[in-house]
Amino acid sequence: MGRLIIHQSMIQENIIENLINICPFKAIERLGDSIDITSACKMCKICVKNSLGAISYEEDEIIEIDKSKWRGVLVYIDHLNGKIHPVSLELIGKAKELASKINHPVYALMIGDNIETSAQELRYYGVDDIFIYESKDLKHFVIEPYAAVFQDLIERIKPSSILVGATNVGRSLAPRIAARFRTGLTADCTILDMKENTDLIQIRPAFGGNIMAQIITQNHRPQLCTVRYKIFSAPERQEIPSGGIHKFLVKEEHLDTKIKVLEVTKKEVEEDISEAEVIVAVGRALKNAKDIEIFQELANLLDGKLACTRPIIENGTLGAKKQIGLSGRTVKPKLIIACGIQGAVQFTAGMNSSDTIIAINSDESAAIFNIAHYGIVGDMYEIVPKLIENIKSGKSIY
């Protein structure tokens, strides 16, 4: 990366309007007899070529980092009232896999109040070292104190990679940690791998899911990424605990914040398709809203949940909590039946780890068949009622 430098003494009236008009991102604004470049700038450098020397581009100096000084894969443990979020256990499983490739340890970080019992539970999942910051002032999540103690741990142990669950807390914490260490952050990764030189390979859908972007933080440490729930698998709980627990002092300066929690109001528990073991998903082939009852019946018979693709949300047939995909929920059921769904990457990225995928589509070339374990070519309005009939009569759905 680099920066644009405006040489004010070279700004001439005849080029100001030209620069303003030529910028495709409208990032150049007039300031009296000069110009300013706003945060909308995407560094395309078109202005540099057309400014007659009034704007130049300066590359940032690349500082070689000693990667050997950064060691270990750290997992931030998300929890609520002592209950560990399942995504944290999934990330421990992935961290163990990544760390084994470079012979690094696996660390876990817990922040909160009265959390030692939960930290002890992590010892049954093969973590090498568990670090906890415990204080009554950390009972509720407040961003400044949490970021401060997170920073304190990183400075102490210097982990090479950090994995954070893409929860509400994780999405708030991770970018602030990345900013404090002037390092990169890749959000919503779907694939992670590790190079021999400890560079973390971070792969995520980009441009609306049309491509898979591979991102590597070559010149900075630590490396940070967030991962959604249900992307990876949690390790089996061991019978014998391992690893040690290390407590660090929460200093007064760590707790410096202008935010004060006055009251905590519990949310009503909402239906979450992420936890469903059976899902019936409906796509664009749904002809009208009333027909959703057919697929709801199938879901009920299988003791499952009804879900859908984005078009069904946009036309108001189902609520947003039912959507599977990049802009919806990630699911990993034992069985998913995809009805009338073409299989765009935006959808499949949210369900392709399902144990068994059954696809029903009238288009035999539909992309959904590329990931389906079983495929039925035909009209879902004919096939689903037959499935319902077979289930009611005790026959197999296969």
User: For 218-232, what is each residue's pLDDT tens digit?
Assistant: 999 999 999 999 999
H helix and E strand count, the chain: 10, 21
Percent of the chain with pLDDT over 90: 76
> Of 144, 156, 88, 142, which is closest to residue 118 (Cα–Cα)?
88
Average pLDDT over residues 271-280: 91
Pick the range with the lowest mean pLDDT from 43-57, 149-163, 364-378: 43-57
Q: In this predicted model, what pLDDT tens digit does every residue of 304-338 receive, in sequence order? A: 999 999 999 999 999 999 999 988 999 999 999 99
In sequence order, which residues have a C-beta less than 8 Å from that of residue 270 and are 6 or more positions away?
321
The pair of structure tokens assigned to 115 is: 């959390």
What is residue 212's predicted lDDT score, i.e. its pLDDT? 85
| pLDDT given for residue 51 in this prediction | 86
Tell me which residue has tokens 């288009």.
363
Q: Which of 7-16, 121-130, 342-351 has the lowest mean pLDDT?
A: 7-16
User: What mean pLDDT is reported for the chain?
Assistant: 92
User: To which residue do tokens 């077979």 refer?
Assistant: 390
Identify which of 13, 19, 57 has the alpha carbon closest to the alpha carbon of residue 36.
Answer: 19
For residue 398, the model assigns a pLDDT of: 56
pLDDT tens digits, one per residue of 73-130: 999 999 998 899 999 999 999 999 999 999 999 999 999 999 999 999 999 999 999 9
In this prediction, residue 397 has a pLDDT band, given cuts at 50, 70 and 90, of low
Residue with tokens 């001439």: 12
Chain centroid to CA 155: 25
CA distances from 380 to 168, 347, 360, 384, 386 (A): 37, 18, 6, 6, 10
Q: Is the preceding peptide bond at 222 cis, omega within 30 degrees of 0?
A: yes
